[in-house]
Amino acid sequence: MTTNRPAQNHLDRRTLLAAGITGAAAATMTLPSPAEAAGATLNHFQHGVASGDPLPDRVVIWTRVTPTADATAGSGKGEEVLVRWEISPTADFKRITGKGSQQTGPDRDHTVKLDVTGLAPESWYFYRFTYNGQTSRVGRTRTAPAADATPDNVRFGVVSCSNLQAGWFASYRHLAERDDLHAIIHLGDYLYEYGPGEYGYGMGNDDVRPHEPAHEMHTLADYRIRHAQYKRDVDLSDAHARLPWIVTWDDHESANDAWMLGAENNEPGEFDWIDRKTSSNQAYDEWMPLRVDTGPDDEGATVETDDHLHDRIYRRLRFGTLLELSMLDLRSYRSEQASRLELAKVDDPDRTITGDEQLAWLKDGLLTDAQWKIVGNPVMIAPVTFGALPKSLIAPVNDVAGLLPDNGIAYNLDQWDGYTADRTELFEHIRNNAVTDTVFVTGDIHSAWACDLPYDSAVYPLGKTAGVEFVATSVTSNNLKDVLGAPRRTVSVTVENIIKTANRHVRHLNFDDHGFSILDVTRNRAQMDWWTIGERRDSNTTATWSTSYATATGSNRIHRVTEPLS
């Protein structure tokens, strides 16, 4: 089975994209897979190229080599090989900025990942790999501005929750076709662990494209095979080749509702969680273009480790004096989620979503001298509750009634609402240090939200706010409309209005649409545009601007914008 979408537009679009990247058009062709390659030349670069984590003087570049027909992803087969790489400021590679080679083999699933250093800040580069006389397609990447630079703007594509079984990745195609982006932020659920028929298109679990392997991921081989399948998707491959990515994981990269010592979707007694989580982390490190376990000085020096269970992926990326981006990991250190029968637990100060070390790191990062503090946040931080009372009344009521959570009854205990002590500590840190221009950019919840972050949501819009939150919808994963099987803008509108009435700081909510977002940051404001796609089953579906919200410098609140970014 192939994950390439129908081929009627494949060559024209790929050739067009390649023309903007390089004149080496041969690098854009899709060659036969090993299973199809009898009598043909084996394509050594079947999984594309990628780059990520741009710093002013370096960027991570990635590929995967298939040295022999049996050395497929997750097979553990194939010998150690040497793969060469080049990077150039020009698409024709007439001037080489850097080159070298890296050895890879079955111990890292024949993936190649390296940190290319010595680059100029705020510059476009082109890179490629060669092995056994073949050259990969060419990737394009960009470094960050120098730490003291003052860029006019930085613009990101923002995506989350991309389930291959639930539809085609048209959002990636639309991002790859844009010419105004500096990088793509993926906020988690890059892939899904479920097997065919378990979580696909709508609640009928109808798979648009069934997962490989044909069962839920549990082992290292399983996770490697699934990563390889996603990387063969044409639209995803184009988006990786076009721009650097800045990624973090949520739960489905390992298993649903993961926490430090387990997950909802991990069968007790059948699969050891530590082994499973170590395997998922290792495959993620091998297959994704990010730095793992960077040092505390955040200067990008990669620390090699075989202890993948303790891979550290929370990290900061600075874009001049304009903004600093803090990417969080909200799965590896969190306490177990509270159940609906344990509502008092949500306020327990001994429970955590970040872990003590990461929370201290985040608080320290918000004191940066960069103007905008952007937080890549895998799950929602805005309170979304029902029955909230003003904080001044909580203690007296609890003296009588006992168990009322500080912010009311939470809509979703898997997000920050289930760990309010961490959120309170973070917001108090923002208030006590008069931090402004903090923007949480979030994924996970398969819907679009624009929210203020009040210190006391029950009295909003009175009182001050800690910042704002923009939540990107899913690329393909089921939303409320899909779960209910209802027509668009019918039942969901009622639910949206109920939530917004009970949570007045929720300024925008869309439970119906899939797509992507664009975040643009300037000295004067940070703005998020939401773009929606049409039918997920249509690989050629169009994208339409939906709405925009922005926050002005120093305001800590959002307002609606009537036009998308130009």
Structure tokens at 92: 């024709």
Structure tokens at 259: 């926490």
The answer to whether residues 98 and 161 belong to one domain is: no
Tell me how far apart the alpha carbons of residues 379 and 471 are, in angstroms, rounded to a whole number.
Answer: 9
Predicted pLDDT at 391: 54
Q: Which of 110, 127, 146 finishes a domain? A: 146
Predicted pLDDT at 388: 58
Provide φ and ψ at 240, rounded to 5°.
-65, -40
Establish if 22 belongs to a structural domain: yes
Which helix H or strand E contains 451, and what residues bound it? strand 448-454
The answer to whether residues 362 and 498 belong to one domain is: yes
Establish if 241 belongs to a structural domain: yes
The answer to whether residues 73 and 179 belong to one domain is: no
Tell me how far apart the alpha carbons of residues 96 and 283 are, in angstroms, rounded to a whole number.
Answer: 31
Locate all alpha helices (DSSP H) within 74-157, ordered by sequence: none
The answer to whether residues 142 and 164 belong to one domain is: no
The answer to whether residues 451 and 540 belong to one domain is: yes
Closest CA to 516 of 542, 543, 479: 543
Establish if 566 belongs to a structural domain: no
Predicted pLDDT at 12: 32
The answer to whether residues 209 and 135 belong to one domain is: no
Model's pTM, two decimal places?
0.90
Closest CA to 380 of 418, 426, 338, 424: 418
Which helix H or strand E contains 448, and what residues bound it? strand 448-454
Looking at the structure of the chain, the number of domains it has is 2
Q: Residue 334: which residues within 8 A CB-CB, separation 6 or more?
A: 259, 260, 352, 353, 354, 355, 419
Establish if 471 belongs to a structural domain: yes
Q: Residue 536 belongs to what domain range? A: 153-561
The tens place of each residue's pLDDT in the chain, 566 residues long, gives: 334 443 333 323 322 333 333 333 333 333 344 433 444 799 999 999 999 999 999 999 999 999 999 999 999 999 999 999 999 999 999 999 999 999 999 999 999 999 999 999 999 999 999 999 999 999 999 999 999 999 999 999 999 999 999 999 999 999 999 999 999 999 999 999 999 999 999 987 899 999 999 999 999 999 999 999 999 999 999 999 999 999 999 999 999 999 999 999 998 877 899 999 999 999 999 999 999 974 444 444 445 567 899 999 999 999 999 999 999 999 999 999 999 888 889 999 999 999 999 999 999 999 999 999 999 999 999 999 987 545 554 443 333 344 456 667 888 999 999 999 999 999 999 999 999 999 999 999 999 999 999 999 999 999 999 999 999 999 999 999 999 898 888 989 999 999 999 999 999 999 999 999 999 999 999 999 999 999 999 999 999 999 999 999 999 999 999 999 99
Predicted pLDDT at 270: 76
The strand ranges marked E within 38-191 are 49-55, 58-64, 81-88, 98-104, 111-116, 124-131, 134-135, 139-142, 153-159, 183-186
